[in-house]
């Protein structure tokens, strides 16, 4: 044997070993892919496409609907022969149909329960046989960060089911695009397109979240957001009695307390942390228990950091509001506070939130807009539905006085802003035809509590003239008898069905709670 023989033999053995390792890795990869394929096939029959026809109210002319539009979304079958999806997929829906994977037939459906706050809804299908070959998926737990998940849905650009992979990259409080609520949300590094909304995020064969609208808008790329299991379970518990309660609010607001000087000013030692109470709302759970300048040290057993965060687990830290969001109406929430350096333990009872802690009501869905026409002047309550009617760029295009009202707190004396939106030109309002988007402060010198109070003042007025006054002192004066006499003529001329919205005087507006 030559000297080169052992070298050749070693090379042959190295190549053989490399080939074996390569084959083994290929086999493992194939096995993993086969496992993923089997997991997908076990899930896909439970993924539903949802077709919605909706007609939103026109808040510029609140007695009319805007043109109907068609849209589609996704959903997943869960326990109880129900379909879990996003609230925005079925918001303002007048007609809903559903379709299974690889099934051309569409089935008539209806919305059983909706939580606009959490952007979640439950759908029922009238034909129960729809679920015969569509097994219910189980609600799982939130995966650990950097876990790979599967996203199922029917995005635009095709008719068939789409399955994409992503990695859970972040979990924290986010502003939900649909409702504007500040709730826990998951983020994955996969783009989510229109049509994906409402589809499940799957981990270990279970629902680990529900895809929702991007909270980042155009500022983010290749990112998707989903409603995590804790929020899904909260909605399902809320839905169990068929009555919407929503998320509670304890009725106080705080600011971060990280400044050493501020901590010392409010009696904290260097090793203590918490957040400063800056507002306590009257007639709220916190009223009479918390005080402004108290320091919130812990909530429901979670220590509160100076940046308003609590630690839920080793890898999950989020805003302390999440500890409140997990509660149902009637639950007790223990707090530890510091007041002038003294540590106190108190308890608050989770209650339904007031309709709005701001003078501007949050955006509402599946609701009838309120309005009152008096002397040809269209009066409406100021809410986010109206402000957003100025388009996607409403932060720039909506009237400044309306945007400014969003930063003002409500109180028992003043809960709502009333706007003279436009004037329907007639003899009774001569001289005011150009008035638009004008905020009313008083009626005949009396302050306005809310839109119901305002409407009642006009409806029951016995004075010969009604004087509307703004904060700056500008006035609109209307002859009351002329307003009464011209009402029918104005309604007919502008083809308006009624002088005020249906149900306006059935009960005070503040008694109603919107999802």
Mean pLDDT over the full length of the chain: 88
Secondary structure element (H or E) that encloses residue 123, with its range = strand 120-125
Instruction: Out of 119, 238, 294, 325, pick the active-site residue.
Output: 119
201, 202, 208, 212 alpha-carbon torsion, rounded to 10°: 10
Residue 60: predicted pLDDT? 96
> Tokens 């589609």 sit at which residue?
72
Half-sphere exposure for 305 (CA within 13 Å, toward CB): 8
Confirm whether 197 is a catalytic residue. yes
375/477 Cα distance (integer angstroms): 10
Of residues 231 and 222, the one with the higher pLDDT is 231
Structure token pair of residue 56: 């939103």
pLDDT beyond 70 at 507? no
Question: Of 21-25, 51-55, 213-217, which gets the smallest average pLDDT?
Answer: 21-25
Confidence of residue 279 (pLDDT cuts 50, 70, 90): very high
Per-residue pLDDT reduced to its tens digit, 73-102: 999 999 999 999 999 999 999 999 999 998
Active site annotation includes 74: no
pLDDT at 30: 45
CA distance 157 to 298: 49
pLDDT at 220: 47
Work out the percent of the chain whose per-residue pLDDT is above 90.
Answer: 68
Active-site residue, selected from the candidate residues 46, 71, 88, 362: 88
Residue 471 CA to its chain's centroid (Å) = 32
- pLDDT of 7 reads 56
Close Cβ partners of 243 (under 8 Å, ≥ 6 residues apart): none
Nearest 10 degrees: Cα torsion 440, 442, 447, 453: -70
* Distance from the Cα of residue 46 to its chain's centroid: 26
What percent of the chain is predicted at pLDDT more than 70? 89
For the stretch 219-251, what's the b/e string if a residue is b when 16 or more beta carbons lie within 10 angstroms of its beta carbon?
A: eeeebbbbbbbebbebbbebbeeeebbbbbbbb
What is the model's pTM?
A: 0.83
**Catalytic residue, candidates 46, 197, 298, 501:** 197
The DSSP element (H or E) to which 121 belongs, if any, is strand 120-125
DSSP 120: E
Distance CA 370, CA 365 (A): 13
Give the tens place of pLDDT for each residue, 170-209.
899 999 989 889 999 999 987 677 888 999 999 999 999 9
Q: Are 51 and 96 in contact (CB under 8 A)?
A: yes
Closest CA to 149 of 203, 204, 229, 70: 203
Taken in order of first residue, the domains within the chain and their CATH numbers are 47-131 (2.40.10.10), 148-239 (2.40.10.10), 252-349 (2.30.42.10), 372-511 (3.20.190.20)
Instruction: Judge whether residue 312 has pLDDT over 70.
Output: yes
Q: What is the pLDDT of residue 31?
A: 41
Which strand (E) or helix (H) includes residue 183?
A: strand 182-188
Written as six digits, the tokens of 138 are 């189980």
pLDDT confidence of residue 222: 65
For the residues 354-368, what does the mean pLDDT come to? 84
What is the radius of gyration, based on Cα positions, of the chain?
A: 29
The number of beta carbons lying within 10 Å of the beta carbon of residue 45 is: 16
Residue 311: per-residue pLDDT: 93
241, two tokens: 């009695």
How is 358-399 classified by DSSP, letter by letter? Answer: BSSBPP-SS-PPP-EEETTEEEEE-BHHHHHTT-TTHHHHS-
Identify which of 408, 475, 393 has the alpha carbon closest to the alpha carbon of residue 438: 475
**The pLDDT of residue 62 is above 90:** yes
The angle at the Cα of 26, spanning 21 to 32, to the nearest 5 degrees, equals 125
Mean predicted confidence (pLDDT) in 50-66:
94
Active site residue 480: no
pLDDT, greater one: 146 or 515: 146
Confidence band (pLDDT; 50, 70, 90) for 158? confident
- Rounded Cα–Cα distance for residues 395 and 384 (Å): 11
Backbone angles phi, psi at 34, to 5 degrees: -65, -40
State yes or no: pLDDT of 331 exceeds 60: yes
Strand order in the sheet with 446-447: 446-447, 442-443, 465-469, 475-479
The full DSSP string for 58-108 is -TTSTTSBPPPEEEEEEEEEETTTEEEE-HHHHTTEEEEEEEETT----EE
pLDDT for 34: 46
In sign, the C-alpha dihedral spanning 502, 503, 508, 510 is: negative
């Amino acid at each position: 044997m030559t000297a080169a023989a052992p070298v050749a033999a070693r090379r042959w053995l190295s190549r053989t070993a490399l080939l074996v390792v390569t084959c083994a890795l290929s086999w493992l990869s194939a096995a993993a892919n086969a496992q993923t394929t089997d997991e997908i096939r076990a899930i896909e029959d439970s993924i539903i496409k949802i077709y919605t026809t909706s007609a939103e109210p026109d808040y510029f002319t609140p007695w009319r609907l805007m043109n109907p539009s068609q849209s589609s979304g996704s959903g997943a079958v869960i326990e109880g022969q129900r379909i879990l999806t996003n609230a925005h997929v079925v918001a303002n829906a007048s007609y809903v149909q559903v379709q299974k994977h690889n099934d051309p037939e569409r089935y008539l459906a209806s919305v059983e329960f909706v939580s606009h706050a959490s952007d979640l809804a439950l759908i029922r299908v009238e034909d129960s046989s729809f679920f015969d070959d569509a097994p219910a998926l189980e609600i799982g737990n939130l995966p650990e960060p950097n876990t790979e998940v599967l996203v199922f849905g029917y995005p635009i650009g095709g008719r068939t089911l789409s399955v994409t992979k992503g990695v859970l990259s972040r979990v924290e409080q986010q502003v939900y695009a649909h409702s504007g609520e500040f709730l826990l949300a998951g983020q994955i590094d996969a783009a989510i397109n229109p049509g994906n909304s409402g589809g499940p995020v799957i981990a270990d064969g279970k629902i680990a979240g529900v895809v929702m609208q991007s909270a980042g808008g155009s500022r983010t790329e290749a990112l998707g957001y989903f409603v995590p299991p804790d929020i899904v379970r909260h909605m399902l518990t809320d839905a169990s009695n068929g009555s919407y309660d929503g998320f509670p609010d304890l009725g106080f607001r705080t600011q971060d307390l990280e400044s050493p000087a501020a901590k010392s000013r409010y009696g904290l030692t260097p090793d203590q942390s918490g957040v400063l109470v800056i507002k306590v709302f009257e007639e709220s759970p916190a009223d009479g228990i918390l005080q402004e300048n108290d320091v919130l040290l812990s909530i429901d057993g979670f220590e509160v950091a100076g940046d308003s965060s609590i630690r839920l687990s080793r890898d999950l830290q989020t805003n302390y509001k999440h500890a409140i969001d997990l509660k149902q109406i009637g639950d007790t929430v223990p707090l530890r506070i510091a007041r002038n350096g003294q540590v106190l333990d108190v308890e608050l009872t989770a209650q339904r939130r007031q309709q709005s802690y701001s003078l501007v009501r949050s955006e509402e869905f599946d609701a009838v807009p309120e309005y009152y026409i008096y002397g040809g002047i269209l009066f409406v309550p100021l809410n986010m539905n109206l402000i957003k009617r100025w388009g996607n760029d409403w932060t720039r295009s909506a009237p400044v006085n309306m945007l400014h009202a969003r930063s003002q707190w409500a109180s028992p004396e003043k809960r709502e802003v009333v706007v003279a939106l436009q004037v329907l030109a007639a003899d009774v309002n001569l001289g005011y035809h150009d008035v638009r988007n004008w905020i009313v402060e008083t009626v005949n010198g009396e302050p306005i509590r809310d839109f119901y109070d305002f409407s009642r003042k006009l409806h029951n007025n016995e004075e010969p003239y009604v004087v509307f006054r703004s904060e700056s002192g500008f006035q609109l004066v209307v002859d009351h008898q002329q307003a009464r006499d011209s009402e029918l003529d104005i309604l007919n001329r502008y083809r308006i069905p009624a002088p005020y919205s249906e149900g306006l005087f059935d009960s005070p507006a503040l008694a109603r709670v919107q999802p």
